[in-house]
Amino acid sequence: MIPNISKLNAVLNYVKDTFVGKNDVVDLLGICLLARENAFLYGPPGTAKSAIVRTLSQTVKDGKNFEYLLTRFTEPNEIFGPFDIRKLKEGELLTNTEGMMPEASMVFLDEIFNANSAILNSLLMALNEKIFKRGKETKHLPALMFVGASNVLPEDEALNALFDRFLIRINVDYVNPELLQQVLLAGRRLENAEERDIPEIRAEEIRELQNLCKTVDLKPIYEVYLNTVISLRNTGIAISDRRAVKLQNLIAASALICGRSEAILSDLWVLKHIWDTEEQIEILEGIINRTIEKDENPQSHPQALHNKMPNPEEVMKDVKILQEKWNSGSATFEEQNVIKDKLRYLQTRCDWIKNPEQKQYIQQEIEGLWQRILQSM
């Protein structure tokens, strides 16, 4: 095992044990931490978004944490620090950043889309280039990772640039009812602050792993990755050149966290989480699963081939919705393409249904819709 990887995995396992049913969320945060890329948590209140990040931050020894809930009225001083009064008297505009975001190793910004124009530009530079710039000041940030969270997606076009700075988007929902009892017990332990051995990893050790991540060999998957990006763009999922370059860091992180020095096909699983809209979540999962399902490498990341067993009733319900949308005849060209993409995804999900009668019935309904689509072309 690569030095310090075992420490990072111990930290991630501790957070998973603390938050039952959130393995995918924790694993994705681990990938972003290793790649030094930003993560966005999307989900309703009460899904432990801030608690997970806070617990992960507490395991980073000798690092400073910064957490803030943004409002429309948040001022730059609240995030970056006030001007240094002593320097101001001497005619210098310098920021006192002590205890503020520019000095933090782990940064969590809740309700990130409440960011106003007064702090937006500084936030964009901090997120993208890990640099804080204010007047003549320029400061390189020590942040290992930025995490943003919100229970809504941005509607204002002015916030699209901010959303784009978060390479990975993580859908955080309520846990499966089957796990609810375990969640209650784990939550009780957490609230009672029961003593547990908390594994730790130093901030410097994480930085060493981040540098090591840059050396992972991506040549084995390069051609498939290139074709996948082109395919996703053709599907209507916007991947800028900048994002395409940065996504390679996540693939490398998936390899490194598994103790490998080169990437394999299944490391492309991280691409399931680059959606811009909720509609793209299922489309991406279907496309990426078809790409990586042939990889049987025993050293694959645990999340690589994690396919949630489909509920036949839910799949059939989704098929009916697509049938109604198509039969209405009012779908635009773009909406028709979305219907086709979702139908391909449901076709893939259908293959995982265990009951042969249910599987056959749903397949017939899907094939019937495909015939109507082809007849209209």
- Tell me, what's the pLDDT at 219? 96
Q: Quickly tell me which residue has 């990887």 as its tokens.
A: 5
What's the angle, vertex CA 75, arms to CA 73 and CA 81, rounded to 5?
A: 155
Parallel, antiparallel or unpaired: strands 145-150 and 39-42: parallel
Please check whether residue 353 is in contact with residue 315, taking contact to mean a CB–CB distance below 8 angstroms.
yes
Please check whether residue 107 is in contact with residue 66, taking contact to mean a CB–CB distance below 8 angstroms.
yes
Q: Is 2 exposed, middle or buried (0-12, 13-18, 19+ CB in 10 A)?
A: middle
State pTM to two decimals.
0.80
pLDDT along the chain (377 residues), means of 10: 85 90 93 96 91 93 90 91 69 78 94 90 89 82 95 87 93 75 68 72 95 96 95 90 95 95 95 92 85 82 71 85 88 82 78 81 91 84
Please check whether residue 102 is in contact with residue 132, taking contact to mean a CB–CB distance below 8 angstroms.
yes
Q: Is 236 exposed, middle or buried (0-12, 13-18, 19+ CB in 10 A)?
A: middle
Tell me how crowded residue 192 is: count the other CB atoms within 10 A of its CB: 8
Please check whether residue 5 is in contact with residue 228, taking contact to mean a CB–CB distance below 8 angstroms.
no
